[in-house]
Amino acid sequence: MVDLTKEERAAITATMKRVALLMDEIGWATPLAELTEAQVRALIEEAVEGFREAMSDIARAQTPEVPF
């Protein structure tokens, strides 16, 4: 079991929304075994990019602005 930080949990929540939008396009009733390689790749890329973007946004929000 991985100990996630509150920031990582927030990033996962943000990522779930992005992945859900892609699943809307694919179709929620589509069994995982019937996904094409391109669909699986798209889901993974969306999850990774969504997580990276959310973590970056969180870090930026927590970093004090430089006064110059």
pLDDT digits (tens, 9 = 90+) for 47-60: 999 999 999 999 99
- The reply to whether 30 falls in a domain is yes
Question: How many domains are contained in the chain?
Answer: 1
- The reply to whether 68 falls in a domain is no
- The reply to whether 25 falls in a domain is yes
DSSP state at residue 65: P
- The reply to whether 29 falls in a domain is yes
- The reply to whether 32 falls in a domain is yes
User: Which residue's entry shows tokens 């075994």?
Assistant: 33
Who's near 31: CB < 8 A, 6+ residues apart? none
Domain extent, residue 46, equals 6-62
Phi, psi (5° rounding) for residue 30? Answer: -70, 120
- The reply to whether 67 falls in a domain is no
**Residues 15-61: tens digit of each pLDDT:** 999 999 999 999 999 999 999 999 999 999 999 999 999 999 999 99
Tokens of 38: 């391109």
- The reply to whether 1 falls in a domain is no
Tokens of 64: 């004090």
